[in-house]
Amino acid sequence: TLGHRRIAFIQGHPESDGANQRFDGYVDCLKKNGLPYEQDLCARGAYDFASGQSAAQRLLDRQANPSAIIAASDTMAIGAIDTILKAGYRVPEDISVIGFDDIPAASMPRIDLTTVRVPKKDMGIAAAQILLRRIKNETNGGSKQIISPVELVIRNTTAAST
Which residues 6+ apart lie within 8 Å of 110 measured at CB?
none
Q: Please check the confidence at residue 102 and state whether its pLDDT lies above 80.
A: yes
pLDDT (tens digit per residue) in 118-159: 877 777 787 787 777 777 887 776 666 777 788 999 999 999
Cβ neighbours of residue 91 under 8 Å, at least 6 residues apart?
81, 84, 85, 97, 157
pLDDT of residue 61 exceeding 90, the answer is: yes
pLDDT digits (tens, 9 = 90+) for 31-42: 999 999 999 999
* Across 46-68, average pLDDT: 96
Average pLDDT of the chain to the nearest whole number = 91
Residue 11 identity (one-letter amino acid): Q
pLDDT given for residue 18 in this prediction: 85
